[in-house]
Chain A
Amino acid sequence: MSTESPTAVSTPRISEAAIRNAPNPSLAAQAAQTARTERPTDHHNRIDVEDLDIYYGDFKAVEGVTMTIDPRSVTALIGPSGCGKSTFLRSLNRMHEVIAGARVDGVVKLNGENLYAPGVDPVLVRRRVGMVFQRPNPFPTMSIYENVIAGLRLNGRKIPKADADAMVERSLRGANLWAEVEDRLDRPASGLSGGQQQRLCIARAISMEPDVLLMDEPCSALDPISTLAIEDLIGELKKTYTIVIVTHNMQQASRVSDRTGFFNIAGTGRPGRLVEMDETSVIFSNPAEQATSDYVTGRFG
């Protein structure tokens, strides 16, 4: 672990070897790896996960995940169905707790603050870690305008109309939707196409000015053109937000993300694990684990 040339892009070979020898990269190895590559070191919007287990009742759904998510980057989580990547994603904003009996063991830190510390209110967590879902879900009783500021309105926050208008425009511009809807903000949100609705949901999420934006397969219900529009949008959003995206589509992961984590499951009924996490280019061209390589080359999943 002492001879390598640090670059901003590629992983040092010897760290790889160390990882290959250990089935689960230890915290130390990961930390060392992080230190060697030149990645942004400011602590804003940064997520650290340490040895996280996620349970539904007695059933362990996800086991021993440790990862770091850099500020203002896009991290993709890939893996076969049922391997726990969505469950893990939802644990980052404590959405998994909506299901009764869900709990975690371990630590998730947002800018150094543990989201799972005793006394932390999950509702407040969700206001700082936003989420976009698989199927666009704008509120049907609200107009486009009302949907965008729904996060504020539903929480009873009153802000003057001028500020609200500015915020709506800002969020819609941020979601690349402003030009298409600026003259029909009062119309029901359900009149938009699928791709537009999803961008509306993104606008709604970013109007809360979260630190992190989680996206759970945001394009899987959309046509290819809308998908492209959203991928372009992600490229712009990452300048401001930290983004974690779960996707089934490997090409999408390779197009859109800076780093990729591969989740896998040992067998039915076994918990899912983070098998490997690295720069996207490495994962797709030269992954360290055999399982990763099999998955990205399409040999299974």
Chain B
Amino acid sequence: MTADLSHGPAAASPQEPRSPHESLLQSGSARKAGDRLFKGVSTGAGVVILVVLAGVAFFLFKESLPAFAADPTVFRADATSFLDYVWPLVFGTVYAAILALLMATPLAIAVALFISHYAPRRLATSLGYLTDILAAVPSVVFGLWGLFVVAPLMVPAMRGLEAGAGFLPLFAGPTLASGRTLLVAAMVLAVMILPIITAISREIFLQTPRLHEEAALALGATRWEVIKTAVLPYGRSGMISATMLGLGRALGETMAIALILSPAPGVVSLNTIGAQNSQAIAPNIALVFPESSGLAINGLFATGLVLFAITFVVNYGARRIAARQLSGAS
């Protein structure tokens, strides 16, 4: 059903009439079947995504529901309601993540600027790889590192903070002797989310239209002024979305916090260097799940559902802002 190749050299004689081809009405059913099958398989794969996500939501809900109606003391001895049980966990999750974000974001943006605008061109890609390697380190390694290296190192600094700024609830102390505090955990978290924010911001900065930068340069601007007037405004929504992605990561981070923090259940505290630290949802699940059974497990599922909801909202916000950048920026 394809081109008839059985006749001899076509260019032999220009006047020779060429062999008649098969009629075009031959149906080519084999290839139509191939097309239909292939399209069906790839559409099916797309549907699998919908099914999986529905499955995630379904199983989360299914396993969580018993927890909402249960006696809250199953989850924590002094809990008065499910909300009372969940609230400190939510607080711990968000607090740790925000602390990490506050530390990581300015640093990440500065690093991204360094790689995109300050470093020698030849080094730029290698330097980019350097920060990407940070993203390759598994979280359990970060946890162990935080535990064995950062915590002891930070104790004198924390004592200093307690001495100098102890009036702030943030640094009320007394400093935990082992150093395994929320502040250290947040620092390690910051190191973990740094690569994401840096990588995305770096891409955004590199995409600043050359025209804008050259316009500033032509007016005699210094490097910083070019960045201030052309690069940063252009990259603003990109930076915000990068930050929110980093926030999403920090909210879901488990092992590093699980290893570093010794949690006091049910505590809600702003104190970042003391002994009583608010626990976060994910590390709580990791620590408690293996030893739990029955309703306690349902309770953990319920906290997982809450975490999913929080990260969903954050990621959705990040996508919306990124989409606005794509469509609106000009």
- Measured CB to CB, the residues of A under 8 A from B are 42, 44-45, 72, 110, 113, 115, 117, 119-121, 123-125, 127-128, 151-152, 155, 157, 159, 163, 167, 170, 173-174, 206, 208-211, 239-240
Contacts and interface: CB of A to CB of B under 8 A. Distances in A.
Contacts of A211: 18, 21
Given A155-B2, A170-B9, A124 B26 contact: yes
B5 A121 contact: no
Contacts of A163: 5
A206 B9 CA distance: 12
Contacts of B23: 113
Contact of A117 (B1, B3, B25): B25
A119 B24 CA distance: 9
Contacts of A174: 10-11
Interface size class of B (residues with CB under 8 A): 20 to 34
A209 B4 CA distance: 8
Nearest first, the 10 A-B pairs at minimum CB distance are A239-B14, A121-B28, A120-B24, A127-B3, A208-B3, A209-B3, A113-B24, A119-B25, A44-B17, A124-B24
B214 to A, nearest CB: 29
A181 B97 CA distance: 62
A240 B17 CA distance: 9
A121 B21 contact: no
B24 A72 contact: no
B31 A123 contact: yes
A124 B2 CA distance: 7
B18 A44 contact: yes
A170 B28 contact: no
B293 interface: no
A162 to B, nearest CB: 13
Interface string B170-194: 0000000000000000000000000
A211 B194 CA distance: 62
A170 B24 contact: no
B36 interface: no
Given A72-B14, A121-B24, 18 more contacts: A42-B17, A44-B17, A113-B24, A113-B25, A117-B24, A120-B24, A120-B25, A121-B28, A123-B28, A127-B3, A159-B5, A163-B5, A167-B5, A174-B11, A209-B3, A211-B21, A239-B14, A240-B10
B121 interface: no
B222 interface: no
A128 B3 contact: yes
A250 B89 CA distance: 76
B2 A209 contact: no
A265 to B, nearest CB: 30
Contacts of A206: 10
Contacts of A152: 5
Contacts of A240: 10-11, 14
A174 B28 CA distance: 29
A121 B173 CA distance: 79
B330 interface: no
B27 interface: yes
A294 B71 CA distance: 90
Contact of A121 (B10, B17, B32): B32
A113 B17 CA distance: 17
Nearest to B30: A156
Interface string B22-66: 011111100110000000000000000000000000000000000
25 contacts: A44-B17, A44-B18, A110-B24, A113-B25, A115-B24, A117-B24, A120-B25, A121-B26, A121-B28, A123-B28, A124-B24, A124-B28, A128-B3, A152-B5, A157-B2, A170-B9, A170-B11, A173-B11, A174-B10, A174-B11, A208-B3, A210-B3, A211-B18, A211-B21, A240-B14
A92 B25 CA distance: 16
A157 to B, nearest CB: 6
A159 B3 CA distance: 13
A115 B25 CA distance: 9
Contacts of A208: 3
Nearest to A43: B17
A239 B13 CA distance: 9
Contacts of B25: 113, 117, 119-120
A124 B1 contact: yes
Contacts of A210: 3
A125 B24 contact: yes
B7 to A, nearest CB: 8
B183 to A, nearest CB: 54
A117 B26 CA distance: 12
A159 B25 CA distance: 25
Contacts of A128: 3, 21, 24
A209 B10 CA distance: 8
> A115, A121, A124, A127: which has the most chain B beta carbons within 10 Å?
A124
Interface-central residue, A125, A159, A173, A240, by most chain B CB under 10 Å: A240
Contacts of B2: 124, 127, 155, 157
B28 to A, nearest CB: 4
A170 B5 contact: no
B11 A121 contact: no
A95 B9 CA distance: 28
B308 to A, nearest CB: 37
Contact of A170 (B1, B3, B10): B10
Contacts of A159: 5
Nearest to A236: B11
A226 to B, nearest CB: 22
Contacts of B28: 121, 123-124
A113 B24 CA distance: 8
Contacts of B5: 152, 159, 163, 167, 209
